[in-house]
Structure 1
Amino acid sequence: MHVTQLEWIITLTVTIAVLLFDVVVIGRRPHEPTTRETAIALSVYVGLAVAFGVFVWFFHGSQFGLEFFAGWLTEYSLSVDNLFIFLIIMASFKVPRIYQQQALLVGIILALIFRGIFIALGAVAIEQFSWVFYIFGAFLLYTAINLVRDTEHDDDADNFVVRFARRHLRTTDRWDGLRLWVKDDSANAARLMTPMFLVIVALGTTDLLFALDSIPAIYGLTQQPYLVFTANVFALMGLRQLYFLLGDLLKRLVYLSQGLAVILFFIGVKLVLHALHENELPFINGGEPVPVPDIPTLVSLGVIIATLAITTVASLYKTRVRDAR
């Protein structure tokens, strides 16, 4: 896939412009968004993602178009799983509803930064070492197995980094928007870390951990850094709106982790097969490629869509039956 420098510049410019717009709007008027507001914004982001996929399809070929849609859907589903942890963090720190938009936006910006770093590192690793696909595949298989075992989400808000900050930094319970510290009212006017500081630390460390899952997953669907980056951007841009639009519905997706486990396991197998197909390790088949099938992108897209659809329907059915009792 040949991406011109102009395409990269336009993509980065539009991304930064959208993020700056969100920062300015939210910074001036922190509030709890209405259902209509979030639905319109989410529709715009999803529409832009679909339009971008169509652009890739017609100007770079159907194969790359399929890779983008498969990657975007995978990253979006993983981002929805992110929302469960975000819900736990917001509840744990009792974040006022009017400040949740600001906290989420900061978390999403941090996620973009972390994923951008991992995308670049992944691209370099793939370019230099073809055997890295073995590592990516094994990691996704391990992650999928852990998702099946951990059917309930643990309270990740109080992780090691947050506990360290609580113990070694002076904190206050006073909220002041996005401000990370405020001055003490005492004579020495010492700076105290606000609850928002701890929330952002929790969101940032959570984003870092999720980036470790999402980047290998999408590199299993496409090896194009441009598509990897844009799929992540479009998935994260609608995450804040999805958080407020779905609300309690997120808690009804009880089989989401199992569905994601199936997707990650499938992509992990795909990565291992691809690694065998491109094998250069001397202790595997004498350093020669292994004649194994390579799973087409169209099949990958079909598996992803079918898994998400079955997961959603089964989750809603189970919670409906449970609530009716």
Structure 2
Amino acid sequence: MSNEILFFGGFLLFIMLMLAIDLGLFSKGNKAVSFTKAAIMSTVWVSFALGFYVVLRVWGDELHDIQDFARLVEVTEKHLHNIRLIPGDFAASLELYKRNLALEYITGYVVEYALSVDNIFVMVLIFSSFGVPAEYYHKVLVWGIIGAIVLRFLFIFIGAALISEFEWILYLFGLFLVYTGIMMFVHRNQEEEIDPKNHKVVKFASKYFSVYPNFVGSKFFHNENGKKYVTPLFLVLLVIEFTDLIFAVDSIPAIFAVTKDPYIVFFSNIFAILGLRSMFFLLVNIIHKFHYLKTGLSFLLVFIGAKMLLHHWLAGWGFTTSHSLIVIVSILAISVIASLIFPKKTKPADL
């Protein structure tokens, strides 16, 4: 069995174990998740993500079974790693590779985690529009994340296969991200609205399923008089999944701007998604305070798209993954600090 399968299989087993523990220990009783519990879980998931950085930094060569200099050159060229190997010095070159691999992972993680914040804005809107009781948020998000993992897996490895076969797709991704960033900036101050009855996902589901008119506790399905119904909570889950699908169209190309290794894209993506749930409960009541975050995310997408379009020139100029991480963190830090220093002015109440 190859090292790639063992490494990837071990990662999936760890993720499934953590989700099973989460479902078993934290979903009982359908209680609303407190700020304290959300802070603890956020810390746990971020710690796991940082711990995986250490795993890649120390054992990253095991992922692609790099045993000699020829294999190192092959992997580096295949995944377009922006590093200069040292001919004749396998040990030093391997250290460069592992350092860069871990850095690509953590940069992709930061990008995905940041873009997930925009997803939280929409999730808050979905829950409030459908009138979902707070105690059911956790169950919907857990099952939503399980679906997101499957979708991301398909998106990432199909995308990697296309990039490997047609490198020019990177330029399409870059143009798309620049366009998305510009449109996000243009519409950053628009109030988003969701009409539950006329949402396209609700209309589609209502066409093929019998929908029960009311919530039935935390159930997704309900039997009555021998007939099976889907509940409004199941419709909310479908809307959440559809929303994540839309966000994946932005976030996955964004991480391919950081690394072309599909495993690193997947690892960084999944850790960010797993931390999204706890981050949702951490930010749900204060996210409106970060009103410049959408502006920051728009600049972030434009930067990443431009990096994709100019990646050959940037590599020639010595622009490394470290520089990308500095720019990304700086954009996010400025948008958060600006939101806190210059709070959004509230409209005076009508007398």
What is the CA-CA distance between 1:157 and the residue it aligns to?
Answer: 6.3
Residue equivalent to 2:291: 254
Measured against aligned partners, the alpha-carbon deviations of 1:77-109 in whole angstroms (never above 9, x if no partner) come to: 011111011000100111111111101112222
Contact kept in structure 1, 2:173 and 2:253, CA below 8 Å: yes
Q: Which amino acid aligns with 1:308?
A: L
Find the aligned partners of 1:268 and 1:64 in 2 and give their Cα distance.
Answer: 21
Task: Verify: 1:226 aligned to 2:226, yes or no.
Answer: no
Q: Select 2:334's aligned residue among 304, 310, 320.
A: 310
Equivalent residues in 2 for 1:123-162, closer than 5 Å: 123-151=160-188, 152-156=190-194, 158=196, 159-162=199-202
Instruction: Work out the percentage of aligned pairs sharing the same amino acid.
Output: 35
Measured against aligned partners, the alpha-carbon deviations of 1:240-274 in whole angstroms (never above 9, x if no partner) come to: 11111222211111111111111111110111112
Q: Select 2:155's aligned residue among 112, 118, 135.
A: 118
Contact kept in structure 2, 1:38 and 1:242, CA below 8 Å: yes
Contact kept in structure 2, 1:165 and 1:198, CA below 8 Å: yes
Cα–Cα, structure 1 residues 189 and 294, in superposed 2: closer, same or farther, change >3 Å? farther
Contact kept in structure 1, 2:289 and 2:339, CA below 8 Å: yes
Q: Which amino acid aligns with 2:341?
A: Y
TM-score by length of 2: 0.81
Moved more, 134-143 or 24-33: 24-33
Moved more, 165-174 or 215-224: 165-174
Task: Verify: 1:32 aligned to 2:32, yes or no.
Answer: yes
Measured against aligned partners, the alpha-carbon deviations of 1:138-182 in whole angstroms (never above 9, x if no partner) come to: 111111111011113522564312233346643223323443221
Q: Structure 1 regions of 5+ residues with no counterpart?
A: 278-289
Aligned-residue CA RMSD in angstroms? 2.4
Q: Which amino acid aligns with 1:31?
A: K
Residue equivalent to 2:213: 173
Q: Which amino acid aligns with 1:303?
A: V
What is the CA-CA distance between 1:57 and the residue it aligns to?
Answer: 2.2
What is the CA-CA distance between 1:29 and the residue it aligns to?
Answer: 2.9
Contact kept in structure 2, 1:157 and 1:202, CA below 8 Å: no
State the secondary structure of the residue aligned to 1:29. Answer: helix
Find the aligned partners of 2:343 and 2:226 in 1 and give their Cα distance.
Answer: 52
TM-score by length of 1: 0.87
Contact kept in structure 1, 2:258 and 2:321, CA below 8 Å: yes
Task: Verify: 1:73 aligned to 2:113, yes or no.
Answer: no
Measured against aligned partners, the alpha-carbon deviations of 1:201-231 in whole angstroms (never above 9, x if no partner) come to: 1101101100100100000001111111111
Moved more, 97-106 or 210-219: 97-106
